[in-house]
Structure 1
């Protein structure tokens, strides 16, 4: 993060308020975002539907 860049500072502040963090590292594979990224890598973006995002957040399997 570049603290002289207002966008970086704003993103970090927003993440902090929401209880998160800005990272340039890939998400853990067992996190909801990591599971969605794995699904997209395997089946493509066209296969991703809103119900997949809900399933990832709830810890349910992501089925094609």
Structure 2
């Protein structure tokens, strides 16, 4: 993150106000985003459907 870039500064400020942290590290594999990324790595982006996001948030398995 380049804190001399107004776009990055705005994103960091917005995230801080909402209680989040912007990270350049990959998400933990057991997080919803980590599970979605693992699914797309295995099956490709074309296999990803909107219900996969709800399943990932609910902790259900992501089925192709």
Counting only pairs closer than 5 Å after superposition, residues 38-57 of structure 1 correspond to structure 2 as: 38-57=38-57
Partner Cα separation in structure 2 for residue 46 and residue 24 of structure 1: 25
**5+ residue gaps, structure 2:** none
RMSD: 0.9
Structure 1 moving runs of 4+ over 6 Å = none
Partner of 2:61: 61
How many residues of Structure 1 are paired with residues of Structure 2 in the alignment?
64
Normalised to the residue count of structure 1, the TM-score between the two structures is 0.92
Give the stretch that moved more between structures: 48-57 or 17-26.
Answer: 17-26
Partner Cα separation in structure 2 for residue 54 and residue 18 of structure 1: 21
Q: Give the CA deviation at 1:34.
A: 0.3
Counting only pairs closer than 5 Å after superposition, residues 1-64 of structure 1 correspond to structure 2 as: 1-64=1-64
